[in-house]
Amino acid sequence: MTDFSRRRFLGTGSAALVGAGLASAPAIHTRASDDSVAPNDRLQFGVIGCNGMGWSNLEAHQKLAGVDCIALCDVDQNVLDRRAPQLEAMTGTAPTLYRDYRQMLDNDDIDFVIIGTPDHWHCLPMVHACEAGKDVYVEKPLANSIGECYVMMDAVERTGRVVQVGQWQRSAPHWQDAVDYLQSGVLGEIRHTKAWSYVNWKGRLPVEPDQAPPDGVDYDFWLGPAPKRPFNPNRFHFTFRWYWDYAGGLMTDWGVHLIDYIFYGMEVGQPTSVMSTGGKYGFPDDARETPDTQQALYTFDNFSMTWEHAIGLGNGPYGRNHGVAFIGNNGTLVIDRRGWEVIPEVDDDQYKMEAIPPRSGSSGLDAHAENFVAAIKGDATPNCSVEMAADTAINAHLGNIAYKLGRRVDWDADARQFIGDEEANDQIWPAYRAPWSLPQA
């Protein structure tokens, strides 16, 4: 552990300053010079789960001056064998490799960790990392259940660690500009919001037979707290997200990103009720468990929100395959990862406000990494804290619970439970497979 990290762990650093300028900084495309970074201010990190987004997050953090990845952990030796030389080419130093994340957390030279594992493996590594004195960047959704969200929030509160969740649109300048416009009030009262993802670049998931795990894969560790199942390639790596044991389908994949911006723009947390419908309508005989088509309707105190997704289709609302819409009395603001625009309402053949033609945007991943490192150093607060991410993840899980039950559910956010609905309440907390156990919130 560096001297800088020891100072943070002893509580002498301050994370009370809001880095508004850092939050809206442009994306970083090349590694900044290390020359101006004092040795005590350098940060070293490790990555737990380095196949997909874990690697993308590594690359974003590796671009920052004075920040170096020194360790990789994955239960798949094949992934480690591929990523280790790639990282060495970036840094000039061979990383330390681990198969068990708990051993990585014992490394005192590591100041923070990135968690890029499947959803069912977010909670335990994050909690254990906080308890080991590490700061954490964890992928979205925050957790694979409502109960795990509470456990993770409790861990951050107990330990005082800095945690950033990978909902990086909160650091993207064009998303922030759109929210500034929204909150100016020009659109008038917002009565309805929409979020959607139409994914025509994914299609049928062919049925595959169960088989032996690939050589080099610790499959029992990969399953971890999830139920014991035979190995199936569809349940592994990227396509794990289509199985309830490990994730929540597109609702918790794209939904968490996009619904999060409705929460950000409307400055709300959790809804009071939700209904959801859908099914496997596009590919009824493929291997997915989660619905390829789903709609959910959420009720808040002063507005409603809908989520919808469709796999295998690309013609989403407003001609965009993904996005968010804020529908006001004077006009509608529509935004996606490419940019945003405003479509005015018409009254007596007169526009009720000025139209804004499409404005371009870009990814916020690099700026999100920059904001996280600034928060570690006490110069900012995380743009997506564990509390923000918990609201969004809980919202997604509420939609999936309503879908599974096939009826409306009413939610009491303060009590952290469904109202008068034991069947729904039974789905708040996951059942961990021994020897793994869920920490208490």
Task: Say whether both 28 and 135 belong to one domain.
Answer: yes
Domain assignment present for 433: no
Q: Between 249-266 and 173-183, two packed helices, what is the crossing angle to 10 degrees?
A: 50
Domain assignment present for 435: no
Task: Say whether both 96 and 214 belong to one domain.
Answer: no
Domain assignment present for 183: yes
Report how far residue 269's alpha carbon sits from residue 177's, in angstroms, rounded to the nearest whole number. 21
- 441 residues of the chain, pLDDT tens digit each: 333 333 333 333 333 322 333 333 333 335 555 666 777 789 999 999 999 999 999 999 999 999 999 999 999 999 999 999 999 999 999 999 999 999 999 999 999 999 999 999 999 999 999 999 999 999 999 999 999 999 999 999 999 999 999 999 999 999 999 999 999 999 999 999 999 999 998 999 999 999 999 999 999 999 999 999 999 999 999 999 999 999 999 999 999 999 999 999 999 989 999 999 999 999 999 999 999 999 999 999 999 999 999 999 999 999 999 999 999 999 999 999 999 999 999 998 899 999 999 999 989 999 999 999 999 999 999 999 999 999 999 999 999 999 999 999 999 999 999 999 999 999 999 999 999 999 986
Report how far residue 174's alpha carbon sits from residue 184's, in angstroms, rounded to the nearest whole number. 15
Task: Say whether both 280 and 357 belong to one domain.
Answer: yes
Domain assignment present for 425: no
pTM: 0.90
Domain assignment present for 332: yes
Got the DSSP string for 181-246?
A: HHHTTTT-SEEEEEEEEEETT----------PPPTTB-HHHHHTTSPP----GGGSGGGGGGSTTT
Task: Say whether both 276 and 291 belong to one domain.
Answer: yes
C-alpha 397: how far from its chain's center?
A: 13
Task: Say whether both 303 and 252 belong to one domain.
Answer: yes
Looking only at the bridges linking them, the beta strands covering 304-311 and 293-299 are: antiparallel
> What letter does residue 326 receive in the DSSP assignment?
E
Q: Quick one: pLDDT at residue 2?
A: 36
Task: Say whether both 18 and 129 belong to one domain.
Answer: yes
Report how far residue 144's alpha carbon sits from residue 115's, in angstroms, rounded to the nearest whole number. 14
Looking only at the bridges linking them, the beta strands covering 67-73 and 96-98 are: parallel
Domain assignment present for 131: yes
Report how far residue 183's alpha carbon sits from residue 79's, in angstroms, rounded to the nearest whole number. 44
Contacts for 114 with CB less than 8 Å, ≥ 6 apart? 45, 46, 47, 48, 54, 57, 58, 61, 136, 137, 138
Got the DSSP string for 354-394?
A: --EEEEE----HHHHHHHHHHHHTTS---SS-HHHHHHHHH
Number of structural domains in the chain: 2
Task: Say whether both 55 and 181 belong to one domain.
Answer: no
Task: Say whether both 205 and 161 belong to one domain.
Answer: no
Task: Say whether both 167 and 139 belong to one domain.
Answer: yes
User: 3-class SS at 258?
Assistant: helix
Task: Say whether both 138 and 241 belong to one domain.
Answer: no
Domain assignment present for 434: no
Task: Say whether both 147 and 235 belong to one domain.
Answer: no
Task: Say whether both 196 and 140 belong to one domain.
Answer: no
Report how far residue 79's alpha carbon sits from residue 285's, in angstroms, rounded to the nearest whole number. 31
Report how far residue 245's alpha carbon sits from residue 239's, in angstroms, rounded to the nearest whole number. 12
Domain assignment present for 380: yes
User: 3-class SS at 294?
Assistant: strand
CATH code for the domain of 135: 3.40.50.720
What DSSP element (H or E) covers 73? Answer: strand 67-73
Domain ranges, residue 300: 173-362+392-420
